[in-house]
């Protein structure tokens, strides 16, 4: 069994894992970080999104061993010193969640969108959320939340950003 | 102390755990010594099981146990039940085949459960399942809803000749036929209500655990109604008596109806836990969910509307074939009957209605309630007919609706329902104003200049919620009563726990229910906890579906609060040394009329428990009250949705330009949460109309069994929604609530299709209206136009 060593939410962890272990399994089963969810197994729904070295990654299609030496942040690691991340705060303030199952992946993707694109408008947000499915909210309030979270993160008004 | 009023858009109490990754869903639960279950599922839609040999698989690494249908039969585990008896026209009871939790002798759909492997790891369970040697005697499959009853169609259950579970009807056939004979105009539509997969984002999951010391079982499961699950597993399957079976439904990641039902997998987990002596965990992957969750809709309908010379509707006639799938799921039989045909009057005064419904078995996944459950199908029939009729007789669709609206209440329809309150014209007028219908002609002309076809579609819907008066549903065949329970426990420090039989899986009960308590008792919502989803904590409850948690669940809480208030007044009278009749209670303060003497709620709570100030012979210590609330009528949410859509003639791509919703849900506790429910419902309805369809090929293979093949609505498929409200309080419950959970999914599909048929100039636009479908319609229309030249 290969050994994998990585940093998760600022803490270094090391474990012997079956080579086929997915990053999401490693997080949920080895580390008991159950905030990251599996919704589809086919990289479509985004419930499993975490940040690996600062980029949004679908942890259901990433092997744990691919993350050797990487810096991983999950939903549990987003709040700092007991203070919610502005995007978490925005999801609560704008009722951007109902059942909460897609929410961790949705928030991690939203933070990544703003990290990459800065202040984003509605059309950009809707395009960028292509890889995250929510069955409860109809996205209306998720879009409002991401707009507000982007404003809080950047201090800038929403703007149309070019598609990649 | 801040009181949170009814009507306040307070932010949700439950959100903190969800936005920080601290929710506890079933798959997040792990028990010591836990094993993993994997189900070997049939790859064939219809086959006999000639041999199921587990000998080699049992020797595979990590295998704890393997069970098949033989073990289920040997343990005398009962079959899954359908809890609503429907009778055919001739009075005979519905014809239901057996529904074992592991297949016995035959498999009837792709995904049917052949065996379960219990192993140390999931990977080991999967490997061992591959080593099970099954000899299938493959039979022809019956997958076509409309053709299921045809002569020679493969028979799914020998108990149901011609695959007919029942042929049911409602209404006055002779009077309706007479109305059609006398009609000035008859509008006819052939409608397919497409089959959908609910797809809650959390796949179903279960953990069964056996406590040998107490001979007791615990099941953690993804359920909308854990008490009903316990009742069925105890009374019908014989898993364990109720006092030895605890069912816990923790955080549940969406349900939309699909988690009402008792499924084979969760039952197997709790049964196997006792059998192998270790906790057994199972979590569906998304494809298993597609294959085996109960699907929704799947109706084939011929519908006709009769009108007179003045544009008044005189009759409505419907013949529907409803696909039940391979087995009758828990409430399947009620969906295309009492939840469907009883709503065929819509918002209209229709004097004559007759509906016939045949329910058929096919070799497909069971079909049961999915958000709206029968009411979206009824609304689609009525609203498509009304729109088409208006166009055919040359009336404006809004004017035609207004002419036929029910305007006096109560209104008895010819199909059971007694509408108690509403103002249908008010919601239509408000929606038309918000949607700027007056400016539509100009917008349509401008769109045409860009090569876009623009259309406007109405849906003035009604539904029946708050299910339901137990006596009434009992007389219609329901196997259970549909009341709800609540217990309010006031602690000595004045904080409150509410135990409710309702279950929250996204609806925000922890907030809205706390708002009710806060406003009634004058305490902060932070001092109120809502306890639900555990049969050991909450004595009994009927759960959450049919938009019933507000109208029924909160009414039970309200009744329990009445009792709390009454008793607290007695305690306060002793504390204040006044007569009980002189005590007033307002804003959390008990006062003596005409004096400045007062005491707050917390002090009264403490005095109820220390019991120093009153004689326990006259007044019992403590402050805890319970209530069972049984509604006296259904509730009737109604409203108007208007869809404005644009179709690209070159590509067939439809874009919703503007969505306007005006709903009447009666009194509203938290408008933020209510609007969120509307948004989500519209998204699912738009999904049905434009994107989603579960498709079986002729061999019964589900070819849309992943998110790569089944088009779930994504953010860029939808617009923002313009949501407004009108209010006529519901007269039948103490809070005046009607319910809001399903309205969006009920209202929206006909609004979309009415907009598309308006844009394209033909009534023949099927669902889902994908770009391919629309492109073909555009080509057909253009050919016909050329031929006519």
B586 DSSP β-pair partners: B589
Is B141:B333 a contact under the CB 8 Å cutoff? Answer: no
CA distance A82 to chain B (A): 10
Exposure of B759 in the CB half-sphere (CA atoms within 13 A): 37
Torsion of CA B323, B548, B638, B725, to 10 degrees: -140
Chain A partners within 8 Å of B714 (Cβ) = 129-130, 133, 139
Pairing of strands B245-248, B216-221: parallel
A45: contact with B, CB 8 A cutoff? yes
State whether B707 and A40 contact (CB < 8 Å): yes
**Residue B486 CB contacts under 8 Å (≥ 6 apart), including other chains:** B498, B499, B500, B501, B553, B556, B557, B559, B560, B626, B627, B629
Is B198:B204 a contact under the CB 8 Å cutoff? Answer: no
A51: contact with B, CB 8 A cutoff? no
Which of B15, B200, B286 has its CB closest to that of A41? Answer: B286
Rounded to an integer, what distance in angstroms lies between the CA atom of residue B273 and that of residue B116?
12
Q: Please give the structure tokens belonging to residue B484.
A: 């709800």
State whether A76 and B20 contact (CB < 8 Å): yes
Chain A partners within 8 Å of B251 (Cβ) = 99-100
Interface test with A, best of B8, B9, B12, B18 (most A CBs within 10 A): B18
Give the SS3 label for residue B668.
coil
DSSP state of A29: I
CA distance B687 to chain A (A): 10
CA distance A49 to chain B (A): 12
State whether B201 and A74 contact (CB < 8 Å): no
- Structure confidence by residue, pLDDT tens digits, B75-87: 999 999 999 999 9
Q: Please give the structure tokens belonging to residue B56.
A: 């080699």
A39: contact with B, CB 8 A cutoff? yes
- Structure confidence by residue, pLDDT tens digits, B86-103: 999 999 999 999 999 999
State whether A92 and B19 contact (CB < 8 Å): yes
Q: Please give the structure tokens belonging to residue B712.
A: 């779930």
The order of strands in the sheet holding B484-490 is B528-531, B496-500, B484-490, B624-629
Chain B residue closest in CA terms to A37: B202
**Rg, C-alpha atoms of chain A:** 16
Q: Where are the beta strands (DSSP E) in B738-783?
A: none
Q: Please give the structure tokens belonging to residue B709.
A: 């093949």
State whether A75 and B20 contact (CB < 8 Å): yes
- Cα B31 to the chain's mean position, in Å? 31
State whether B21 and A36 contact (CB < 8 Å): yes
In chain A, the domains with their CATH numbers are: 3-77 (3.10.20.30), 86-154 (1.10.150.120)
Which A-chain residues 143-162 have CB contacts (< 8 A) with chain B? 143
Which of B254, B714, B744 has its CB closest to that of A130? Answer: B714
State whether B706 and A44 contact (CB < 8 Å): yes
Give the SS3 label for residue A113.
helix
Chain A partners within 8 Å of B286 (Cβ) = 39-42, 45
Entry field: residues in chain B: 789
Of residues B259, B257, B233, the one with CA closest to residue B247: B233
Rounded to an integer, what distance in angstroms lies between the CA atom of residue B263 and that of residue B223?
10
Q: What is the mean pLDDT of chain B?
A: 97
Which of A40, A98, A100 has its CB closest to that of B676? Answer: A98
Pairing of strands B35-41, B113-119: antiparallel
State whether B682 and A36 contact (CB < 8 Å): no
B35 DSSP β-pair partners: B280
Q: What is the mean pLDDT of residues B525-543?
A: 96
Which A-chain residues 17-36 have CB contacts (< 8 A) with chain B? 18, 20, 28, 32-36
Rounded to an integer, what distance in angstroms lies between the CA atom of residue B500 and that of residue B549?
10
Rounded to an integer, what distance in angstroms lies between the CA atom of residue B603 and that of residue B599?
7
Is B298:B336 a contact under the CB 8 Å cutoff? Answer: no
DSSP state of B338: T
For chain B, the first-to-last Cα distance in angstroms comes to 76
Distances (CA, A) of B698 to A13, B255, B299, B311, B336: 51, 29, 18, 44, 24
- Structure confidence by residue, pLDDT tens digits, B20-42: 999 999 999 999 999 999 999 99
A121: contact with B, CB 8 A cutoff? no
State whether A100 and B251 contact (CB < 8 Å): yes
Which of B253, B283, B720 has its CB closest to that of A140? Answer: B720
Which of A41, A132, A141 has its CB closest to that of B679? Answer: A141
State whether A100 and B506 contact (CB < 8 Å): yes
CB environment A128-159: b (16+ within 10 A), e (fewer): bbebbbbbbbbbbbbbbbbbbbbbebbeeebe
**Residue B473 CB contacts under 8 Å (≥ 6 apart), including other chains:** B338, B467, B481, B482
Is B380:B296 a contact under the CB 8 Å cutoff? Answer: no
Rounded to an integer, what distance in angstroms lies between the CA atom of residue B377 and that of residue B336?
8
Chain B residue closest in CA terms to A137: B680
Q: Please give the structure tokens belonging to residue B149.
A: 């009853």
Chain A residue closest in CA terms to B744: A138
Q: Please give the structure tokens belonging to residue B655.
A: 């874009």
Rounded to an integer, what distance in angstroms lies between the CA atom of residue B741 and that of residue B663?
12
State whether the Cα torsion B410-B411-B414-B418 is positive or negative: negative
**Residue B180 CB contacts under 8 Å (≥ 6 apart), including other chains:** B186, B304, B306, B315, B317
In chain B, the domains with their CATH numbers are: 31-139+201-254+259-292 (3.90.1170.50), 299-467+633-788 (3.30.365.10), 483-629 (3.30.365.10)
Is B77:B239 a contact under the CB 8 Å cutoff? Answer: yes
Of residues B753, B703, B691, the one with CA closest to residue B458: B753
The order of strands in the sheet holding B353-361 is B164-171, B353-361, B313-325, B299-307, B185-193
CA distance A63 to chain B (A): 15
Which of B201, B507, B718 has its CB closest to that of A45? Answer: B201
B627 DSSP β-pair partners: B486
Interface test with B, best of A133, A135, A149 (most B CBs within 10 A): A135
- Structure confidence by residue, pLDDT tens digits, B578-620: 999 999 999 999 999 999 999 999 999 999 999 999 998 999 9
Is B217:B208 a contact under the CB 8 Å cutoff? Answer: yes
DSSP letter string over B77-138? PPPP---B--B-TTSPBP------SS--SEE-STT-EEEEEEESSHHHHHHHHHT-EEEEEE
Rounded to an integer, what distance in angstroms lies between the CA atom of residue A120 and that of residue A113?
8
A99: contact with B, CB 8 A cutoff? yes
- Structure confidence by residue, pLDDT tens digits, B775-789: 999 999 999 989 988
ipTM of the complex: 0.98
Rounded to an integer, what distance in angstroms lies between the CA atom of residue A76 and that of residue B391?
56
CA distance B216 to chain A (A): 27
Q: Please give the structure tokens belonging to residue B420.
A: 């108690």
- Structure confidence by residue, pLDDT tens digits, B437-450: 999 999 999 999 99
Q: Please give the structure tokens belonging to residue A85.
A: 């991340």
CA distance B150 to chain A (A): 37
Rounded to an integer, what distance in angstroms lies between the CA atom of residue B272 and that of residue B277?
8
pLDDT along chain A (164 residues), means of 10: 96 95 97 98 96 98 97 97 96 98 98 96 97 98 98 90 71
Which of A100, A102, A139 has its CB closest to that of B683? Answer: A139
CB environment B90-110: b (16+ within 10 A), e (fewer): eeeebbbbebbbbbeebbbbb
Percent of chain B topping pLDDT 90: 98
Which of B28, B256, B286 has its CB closest to that of A42? Answer: B286
Chain A residue closest in CA terms to B27: A34
State whether B17 and A129 contact (CB < 8 Å): no
Is residue B1 scored above 80 in pLDDT?
no
State whether A100 and B17 contact (CB < 8 Å): yes
Pairing of strands B721-725, B654-664: parallel
Rounded to an integer, what distance in angstroms lies between the CA atom of residue A155 and that of residue B749?
40
Q: Please give the structure tokens belonging to residue B397.
A: 């669709």
Q: Please give the structure tokens belonging to residue B353.
A: 């209605």
Chain B partners within 8 Å of A102 (Cβ) = 201, 253
CA distance A68 to chain B (A): 23
**pLDDT at position A160, please?**
84
Q: Please give the structure tokens belonging to residue A2.
A: 């290969």
Of residues B192, B194, B185, the one with CA closest to residue B386: B185
State whether B254 and A33 contact (CB < 8 Å): no
Pairing of strands A3-8, A71-73: parallel
Chain B partners within 8 Å of A139 (Cβ) = 679, 683, 713-715, 718
Give the SS3 label for residue B325.
strand
**pLDDT at position A158, please?**
81
Q: Which residue has the tokens 């289920």?
A: B72
3-state helix, strand, coil in chain A (%, to 5): 40, 15, 45
**pLDDT at position B789, please?**
82
A130: contact with B, CB 8 A cutoff? yes
**pLDDT at position A164, please?**
62
State whether B254 and A101 contact (CB < 8 Å): yes
pLDDT bucket at B674, cuts 50 / 70 / 90: very high
Q: Please give the structure tokens belonging to residue B60.
A: 């595979």
Q: Please give the structure tokens belonging to residue B160.
A: 């149901």
Chain A residue closest in CA terms to B254: A99
Burial class (CB in 10 A: 0-12, 13-18, 19+), B474: middle
Give the SS3 label for residue B722.
strand
């Amino acid at each position: 069994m290969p050994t994998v060593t990585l940093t998760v939410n600022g803490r270094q962890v090391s474990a012997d894992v079956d080579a086929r272990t997915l990053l999401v399994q490693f997080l949920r089963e080895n580390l008991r970080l159950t905030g990251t969810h599996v919704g589809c197994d086919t990289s479509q729904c985004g419930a499993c999104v975490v940040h690996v070295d600062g980029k949004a990654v679908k942890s259901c299609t990433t092997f744990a061993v691919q993350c050797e030496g990487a810096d991983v942040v999950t939903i549990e690691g987003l709040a700092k010193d007991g203070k919610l991340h502005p995007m978490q705060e925005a999801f609560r303030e704008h009722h951007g969640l109902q059942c909460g199952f897609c929410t961790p992946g949705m928030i991690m993707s939203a933070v990544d969108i703003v990290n990459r694109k800065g202040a984003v408008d509605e059309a950009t947000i809707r395009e960028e959320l292509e890889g995250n499915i929510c069955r409860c909210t109809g996205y209306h309030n998720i879009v409002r939340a991401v707009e507000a979270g982007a404003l809080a993160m950047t201090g800038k008004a929403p703007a149309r950003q070019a598609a990649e | 102390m801040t009181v949170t009023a009814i009507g306040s858009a307070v932010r949700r109490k439950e959100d903190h755990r969800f936005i920080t990754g601290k929710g506890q869903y079933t798959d997040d639960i792990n028990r010591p010594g836990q094993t993993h279950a994997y189900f070997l599922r049939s790859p064939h839609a219809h086959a006999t099981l000639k041999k199921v040999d587990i000998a080699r698989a049992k020797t595979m690494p990590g295998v704890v146990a393997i069970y098949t249908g033989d073990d289920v039969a040997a343990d005398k585990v009962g079959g899954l039940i359908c809890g609503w008896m429907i009778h055919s026209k001739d009075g005979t009871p519905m014809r239901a085949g057996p529904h074992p939790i592991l297949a016995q002798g035959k498999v009837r759909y792709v995904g049917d459960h052949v065996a379960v492997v219990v192993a140390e790891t999931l990977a080991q369970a999967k490997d061992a399942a591959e080593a099970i040697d099954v000899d299938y005697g493959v039979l022809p499959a019956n997958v076509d809803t409309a053709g299921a009853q045809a002569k020679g169609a493969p028979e799914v259950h020998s108990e149901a000749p011609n695959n007919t579970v029942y042929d049911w009807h409602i209404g006055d056939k002779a009077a309706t036929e007479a109305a059609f004979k006398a009609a000035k105009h008859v509008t006819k539509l052939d409608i397919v209500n497409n089959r959908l997969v609910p797809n809650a984002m959390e796949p179903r999951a279960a953990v069964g655990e056996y406590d040998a010391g107490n001979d007791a079982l615990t099941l953690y499961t993804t359920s909308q109604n854990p008490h009903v699950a316990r009742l069925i597993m105890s009374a019908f399957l014989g898993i364990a008596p109720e006092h030895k079976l605890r069912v816990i439904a923790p955080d549940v990641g969406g349900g939309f109806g699909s988690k009402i039902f008792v499924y084979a997998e969760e039952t197997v987990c709790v049964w196997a836990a006792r059998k192998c002596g270790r906790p057994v965990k199972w979590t569906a992957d998304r494809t298993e969910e597609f294959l085996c969750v109960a699907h929704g809709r799947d109706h084939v309908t011929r519908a006709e509307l009769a009108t007179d010379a003045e544009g008044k509707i005189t009759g409505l006639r419907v013949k529907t074939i409803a696909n039940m799938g391979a087995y009758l799921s828990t409430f399947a039989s009620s969906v295309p009957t009492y939840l469907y045909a009883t709503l065929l009057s819509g918002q209209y005064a229709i004097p004559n209605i007759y509906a016939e419904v045949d329910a058929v078995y096919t070799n497909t996944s069971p079909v049961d309630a999915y958000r709206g459950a029968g009411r979206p199908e009824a609304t689609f029939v009525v609203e498509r007919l009304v729109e088409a009729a208006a166009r055919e007789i040359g009336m404006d669709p809004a004017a035609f609706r207004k002419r036929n609206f029910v305007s006096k209440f109560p209104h008895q329809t010819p199909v059971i329902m007694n509408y108690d309150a509403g103002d249908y014209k008010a919601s239509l007028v408000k929606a038309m104003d918000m949607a700027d219908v007056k400016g539509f002609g100009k917008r349509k002309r401008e769109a045409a200049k860009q090569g876009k076809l623009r259309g406007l579609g109405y849906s003035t819907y009604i539904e029946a919620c708050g299910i339901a008066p137990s006596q009434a549903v009992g007389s219609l065949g329901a196997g259970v009563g549909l009341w709800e329970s609540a217990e309010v426990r006031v602690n000595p420090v004045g904080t409150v726990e509410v135990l409710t039989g309702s279950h929250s899986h996204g609806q925000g009960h922890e907030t809205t229910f706390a708002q009710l308590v806060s406003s009634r008792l004058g305490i902060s919502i932070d001092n109120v906890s809502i306890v639900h989803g555990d049969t050991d904590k909450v004595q009994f409850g009927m759960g959450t579906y049919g938009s019933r948690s507000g109208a029924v669940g909160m009414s039970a809480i309200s009744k329990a609060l009445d009792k709390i208030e009454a008793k607290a007044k007695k305690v306060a009278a002793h504390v204040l040394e006044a007569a009980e009749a002189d005590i007033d209670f307002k804003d959390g303060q008990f006062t003596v009329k005409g004096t400045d003497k007062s005491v707050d709620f917390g002090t009264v709570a403490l005095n109820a428990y220390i019991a120093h100030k009153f004689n326990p012979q006259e007044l019992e210590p403590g402050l805890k009250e319970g209530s069972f609330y049984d509604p006296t009528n259904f509730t009737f949410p109604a409203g108007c949705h208007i869809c404005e859509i644009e179709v690209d003639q070159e590509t067939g791509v439809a874009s919703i330009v503007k969505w306007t919703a005006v709903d009447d849900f009666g009194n509203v506790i938290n408008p933020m949460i209510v609007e969120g429910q509307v948004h989500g419902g519209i998204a699912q309805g738009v999904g049905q109309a434009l994107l989603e369809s579960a498709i079986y090929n002729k061999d019964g293979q589900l070819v849309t069994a992943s998110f790569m093949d089944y088009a779930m609505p994504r953010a860029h498929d939808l617009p923002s929604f313009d949501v407004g409200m009108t209010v006529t309080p519901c007269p039948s419950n103490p809070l005046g609530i009607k319910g809001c959970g399903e309205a969006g999914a009920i209202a929206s599909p006909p609004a979309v299709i009415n907009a598309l048929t308006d844009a394209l100039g033909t009534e023949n636009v099927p669902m889902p209206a994908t770009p391919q479908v629309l492109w073909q319609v555009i080509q057909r229309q253009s050919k016909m136009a050329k031929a006519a030249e």
